[in-house]
Amino acid sequence: MSGDHLQALFAPRAVAVIGASDDSAKWGNILAQRALASGDGRAVLLVNHRGGTVLGEPVHVSAVAGARALDVRVDLAVVCVPAHGFVASVADAVSAGARAIVGITAGLSETGAEGARVETEAVAVAREAGAVLVGPNCLGIVDTSTDLQLAHAALPAGDVAVLSQSGNLVLDLASLLADRGLGISRFVSLGNQADLGVVELLHACADHEATRAVAVYAEDVVEGRRFLAAARALRTAGKPLVLLAPGRSEAAVRSAASHTGSLTSSSMVVDAACAAVGAHRVDHPTQMADLLLALRQPRRMSGRRAAVLTDGGGHGAVGADALSAVGLSTPVLTGPVTEELRSALWASATVTNPVDLAGAGEQDVLSYVRGVQVLLASDQVDGVLLTGFFGGYSAGQSDLAAPELAAAGLMADAVVAQHKPLVVQTIYPDSPAAVVLSAAGIPVHRDIDRACTVLAGLVEPDPSPAGLGGELPDPAAPATDTSYDGARALFADAGIAFPAAVSVTDVAGLEAALDRLRFPLVLKATGRLHKSEDGGVVLGLADRAAVRAAYDDLVARLAPPTVTVEEMADVRDGVELIVGSVRDPKFGPVVMVGLGGVFAEVLADTACAIAPVSVAAARQLLLSLQGAPLLLGARGRTPVDLDALAEVVARVAGLAAAHPELVELELNPVLAGPSGALALDARLVLG
């Protein structure tokens, strides 16, 4: 979208409202009122083919006639006519000079084939004239920095840009922002996104000086890879992106041919996209408003370790549980920090995490300050949750009111002077002490869940094009052989290790294979989607007689085209995982890892990322699994070679990125051991 289009869309000198009406129930009346109330010396043309007057103003029978009468060129046209008149109105608008059109008109592609045809024709008319179109089926546009209010409600001015597929949700968010002293710089109702979509508008926000953060409500991110690029542009500009995308309750994306596909949901993919670009995903408007406020301060958590400081054991326990629910940990504090806490607090305090003042506030209100200072300075935590009574002393008449206010000021100074965040949950969020903390940019909440969600939202992601979801490479030569042997060959060519194997079609081939391979052996019947479930895998064959008997049984039961004879890996010191990729229709290749190998669906411990991924990013993906301690040597186990395992994940992601013809790739299981990682089975699925 060019600068000329941006000027026409957000700072027009002349606006035409096509479909202006005196009927207060119609959009043509609401938007006519909004346009006439706009400032900045903007010319307004009210257009209705019947002529007459609307709101006491003269109405022109066409935008062209109005432009001639007022001797202006229309920059922006807002079209709110019935669907059957939409194409003609767009043509009228561009004939009057419009370079931007906002289509309020509904009843188009969202209603079926005929509506889609009309919509497509209107977009073609606009594009041929060099104009851009927002919507149709949208609820308007606002830019408070240019006093442009062309939506169903006047929105409060501020510095948060809102791009949304829901109009009512914007009203909700605007009210929530206003409660927090925030407002809106731009609002664009996305509608059907027939021409301009969320990607172009994100880029426009990145370059908009009056916008400091961007909030998006999107039920469907249509152009996933371009969305990633636009989100990165916002991050480069220092503007947080907060995304509300419903759908966490959705089951699998589809009925998938692989375990990888069945374990990857569209909601997981959206989370992975946010991780790739440092965007923040929330679940409802209140979370969005809370986080937009918290993100205005510069302090972030560099990891997911939180300390809980409380003045009561109950609040501490509840706070620790709430932190766990949002993916943060409360590690046991050890060593120097516990000694510092013992020195700073009274003898009855608990210093292991949660840190419990145990009633010290009433004896010495500055103990809150000292506790916060010690915890923020510790290299064992990345952020602090203060929960409980603080604020209560200044909420009423008390000898401790003045000391608590002083403590709040000192606490605010301690927080502002360093880079880690403090989030406060208090029974008294409106108390004078809480107001002091809020004024310093410290998030203060009455509800523990909201406080913990905000703290989790302040975890600083570390995305980069080289780490997660980078540029897709040029496609490699297409893979055409999706047999078991073909899959093994493709992965092996990418540097992934497999046990030695020979494919055989008859008894003579079997005998020759036994001369080349070491016992114990595994037999696999090929040509089946899930070999294990069909009884097509026989393990632990210790000698020739056992192999021959197993081979005869497989051939008799399953009549496979080939049987693969493989050396059996020693699984005693290893951990089995699944490593695979699916091709998401919006975001392209998505790599997935999970614990459990063939039991991955039972354990449901998986994580995914937008491919390609670097080895370092793959390592972090593996460590995000709940069962990651198994990889690191839990309960006396020998740690696996995590670097080799991460290399396998990165190579699978690279293959998926280079082979757009493959909709699924899978290694299942992958055996990770102390001396490397070995793929024990492979599968490819062509699109």
Q: 289 and 219 share a domain?
A: yes
What is the DSSP code (8-state) at residue 597? G
Enumerate helices (H) and strands (E) in the chain, giving the number of each. Answer: 25, 29
CA gap 99, 678 in Å, rounded? 59
pLDDT of 567 above 70: yes
Task: Give the tens place of pLDDT for each residue, 467-499.
Answer: 677 788 899 999 999 999 999 999 999 999 999
Cβ–Cβ under 8 Å, residues 268 and 276: no
Q: 281 and 152 share a domain?
A: yes
Predicted confidence at residue 433, as pLDDT, reads 97
Cβ–Cβ under 8 Å, residues 493 and 514: no
Predicted confidence at residue 533, as pLDDT, reads 64
Mean pLDDT of the 642-661 span: 97
CA gap 216, 204 in Å, rounded? 14
What distance, in Å, lies between the first and last C-alpha atoms of the chain?
Answer: 33
Predicted confidence at residue 472, as pLDDT, reads 87
Q: 532 and 661 share a domain?
A: no
Q: 451 and 351 share a domain?
A: yes
pLDDT of 466 above 90: no
Task: Give the tens place of pLDDT for each residue, 376-430.
Answer: 999 999 999 999 999 999 998 888 999 999 999 999 999 999 999 999 999 999 9
Helix (H, G, I), strand (E, B) or coil at 306: strand
Region of 506 (left: φ > 0; alpha: ψ -120 to 50; beta: rest) is beta
Main-chain phi, psi angles of 569, to 5 degrees: -75, 150
Q: 283 and 216 share a domain?
A: yes
pLDDT of 543 above 60: yes
Report the Cα 382 to chain-centroid distance in Å: 22
In the block, tokens 């010396």 appear at 41
Q: What is the band of 601 on the pLDDT scale with cuts at 50, 70, 90?
A: confident
pLDDT of 260 above 70: no
pLDDT of 222 above 80: no
Q: 527 and 610 share a domain?
A: no
Task: Give the tens place of pLDDT for each residue, 80-134.
Answer: 999 999 999 999 999 999 999 999 999 999 999 999 999 999 999 999 999 999 9
What is the DSSP code (8-state) at residue 13? S
Most confident of 173-187, 233-247, 251-265: 173-187
CA gap 79, 254 in Å, rounded? 38
- Retrieve residue 590's tokens: 């998505």
pLDDT of 510 above 70: yes
Domain span at residue 379 reads 306-457
462 part of a folded domain: no
Which of 263, 294, 325 is a domain's end point? Answer: 294
Which of 238, 264, 294 is a domain's end point? Answer: 294
Predicted confidence at residue 256, as pLDDT, reads 45
24 part of a folded domain: yes
Main-chain phi, psi angles of 301, to 5 degrees: -85, 125
Task: Give the tens place of pLDDT for each residue, 330-371.
Answer: 999 999 999 999 999 988 899 999 999 988 878 899 999 999
Which of 547, 567, 587 is a domain's end point? Answer: 567
Cβ–Cβ under 8 Å, residues 595 and 586: no
Q: What is the band of 462 on the pLDDT scale with cuts at 50, 70, 90?
A: low
- The mean pLDDT value of the chain amounts to 92
CA gap 421, 423 in Å, rounded? 6
Q: 441 and 326 share a domain?
A: yes
Determine the residue type at 148. L
Q: Which residue would you say has higher pLDDT here, 603 or 130?
A: 130
pTM score over 0.95: no
Predicted confidence at residue 263, as pLDDT, reads 58
CA gap 197, 199 in Å, rounded? 5
Q: 167 and 99 share a domain?
A: no
Cβ–Cβ under 8 Å, residues 560 and 223: no
Mean pLDDT of the 39-64 span: 92
pLDDT of 248 above 80: no
Spell out the alpha helix ranges (H) of 223-312: 224-236, 259-262, 266-277, 285-294
- Retrieve residue 686's tokens: 């062509």
CA gap 551, 553 in Å, rounded? 5
Q: Over pLDDT 90: what percentage of the chain?
A: 84
